[in-house]
Chain A
Amino acid sequence: MDNLTALHIDALSEVFNIGAGRAAASLSEIVSEEVKLSVPALEFRKCAEFNEKVLSLDQSQLGVVRQQFSGALNAEASLLFTEDSALEIMRDMMGSHISIEELAEFEQEAMCELGNIILNACLSAMSDMLNIQMESSLPSYTVCNAEQLIQDIIDTPDQEYIMILHIDLEIERRQVNGKLIFLFSSSSLSTLRIRIDAFLNNI
């Protein structure tokens, strides 16, 4: 990556793993089950280099929770799960509360809540540790196919960089993989680099 060093990436990984830990704690509280959440890998790319291989999700239909963040950084964050795993997560989370037939009608809102918890936790860890204040839109949930999503990302004006977080989520012994992607403009990316440098200097 031409802009961020391995050290920057390591620091960000640490930040997001702390965020993931917070999200797991919140989710565990809601479902009264132990939820494990981790960010085993993180990568940066230019949007133009983005393709399905990079996303490595083996199913083309995706459930996407989106939030727009603004402030010191402007970013669009999307949390992606394959539609099947999104349904599995919801089924597990609601297991005791809801029947499978009832699932569809609540899926959208519940996915928003789940995504909101994960996105906010990751973002607030960034705010806290890297001292980046941001505001956020409310989450929205859509189902779309991977191709469309990738095309949208490539076509988004002014957002040149993409950060991809690989997320492992485990609920009731079921392991689900998702992706969290952030779209940044180049100016936002340089802000991020400056803040990470400051963070590293303070350690």
Chain B
Amino acid sequence: MNNNPVEATRCDLTQVIDALNNGIILIDSQGHVLLWNQWMTRHSGILAAQALNRHLTDVFSEPLPKSFVAAINRAQSTRLPVVLSNALHKFPLPLFNNGNTVERISQSIILSPLRQEQGEWHCLIQVTDSSTAIKREKMLREHSELHKKDATTDPLTGLFNRRFFDAQFATELLQAQRQNTTLSLMMLDIDYFKNYNDHYGHPAGDSAIIAVGNCIRNKLQRSSDLAARYGGEEFIVMMPNSTEAVAQKLAESIRQAVADLKIAHINSLIAGHLTISVGVSSYTPGKKADTVTFLKNTDLALYAAKQKGRNQVQFLPL
């Protein structure tokens, strides 16, 4: 039984240091290893007995990076603590997990000069495995990107959702007004969709919406064009820098593509297959319009297409 509290503490400290989930190396002012904990042995494959009393630069089978050696020299000469961040020094020491000898552990290292009773200075090297933190950060970032995508996308069609469209539309209209450019809009609606749903059921209705969404997506040619699902069976497309002629041509090609799918629709009152009606409107420089009037006008164009017999494109100037 050890009654000396100092001795007792010392004995415990060795155990504590070995149990730490960090790499601990202590070197003297000449760079000789005085302490090498079990974490270091586990991840370097070098036993304490092999490391002790040797110069740190000779302990590993490869030369240590210049920046690491410079940092140790700096810590020893200034006697101030030094931080080696993972961002600027990914893997300074050859440390590995579970016998893997290819993929090094990501490391963050802290060097702390320690003054000894005899006035000599030692340097404590603490190595932290930062791969968990990096993985966690990566996962959080992926999640946040996913949420961002969810917040802007319509899950059924994969097109943008109405919320995203509204925000982009406001920005684009302002930009068109500032830069004196054209901005065209089209609204598309599946003809007699209620009849389709009633007859073929909701799952088939969903498939029809997806099919129309794909037709729209496939026909868009510019990366600046933006398509969104605007309501149940209603879609909207915004085309910056597109004249009314170009917009109408695109609308017609989408209408044709949907008709060409020949999706059976026996309760359509105008054709035996699925069709759409499209309304187009354009903002041209000099016109006065806000988002509400522009949208309303495009909706009126769509209404006109419906009134005139459906399965067609109608244009209404702003």
Per-residue 0/1 for A30-46: is the Cβ within 8 Å of any B Cβ (1 yes, 0 no)? 11000000000000000
Given contacts A29-B66, A105-B137, A105-B141, contact A97 B78 (CB under 8 A): no
Main secondary structure of the interface of A (DSSP, over half): helix
Closest A residue to B71 by CB, please name it. Answer: A26
Chain B: minimal CB distance from A125 (Å) = 9
Q: Is the CB of B87 within 8 A of A106?
A: yes
Residues in chain A near residue B90, CB distance under 8 A: 97
Main secondary structure of the interface of B (DSSP, over half): mixed
Given contacts A97-B88, A105-B137, contact A113 B83 (CB under 8 A): yes
Residues in chain A near residue B74, CB distance under 8 A: 26, 117, 120
Q: Is the CB of B81 within 8 A of A138?
A: yes
Given contacts A120-B78, A120-B80, A136-B81, contact A97 B87 (CB under 8 A): yes
Q: Is the CB of A113 within 8 A of B81?
A: no
A116 to B70, CA, bound (A): 14
Residues in chain A near residue B87, CB distance under 8 A: 90, 94, 97-98, 106-107, 109-110, 113
On chain A, the number of residues with a Cβ less than 8 Å from chain B's Cβ atoms is: 31
Q: Is the CB of B88 within 8 A of A113?
A: yes
Decide yes or no whether B183 CB sits under 8 A from chain A. Answer: no
Contact-size category for B: 20 to 34
Closest A residue to B115 by CB, please name it. Answer: A135
Per-residue 0/1 for A91-117: is the Cβ within 8 Å of any B Cβ (1 yes, 0 no)? 001100110010001110110110011
Residues in chain A near residue B70, CB distance under 8 A: 26, 29
Quick one: which of A30, A90, A93, A123 contacts B80, CB cutoff 8 A? A123
Given contacts A26-B70, A105-B137, contact A135 B79 (CB under 8 A): yes
Decide yes or no whether A13 CB sits under 8 A from chain B. Answer: no
Chain A: minimal CB distance from B84 (Å) = 7
Q: Is the CB of A109 within 8 A of B81?
A: no
Residues in chain A near residue B78, CB distance under 8 A: 120-121, 123-124, 127
Chain B residues proximal to chain A, CB less than 8 Å: 66-67, 70, 74, 77-90, 108, 110, 112, 115, 133-134, 137-138, 141
Closest 3 CB pairs of A and B: A106-B87, A124-B78, A105-B137
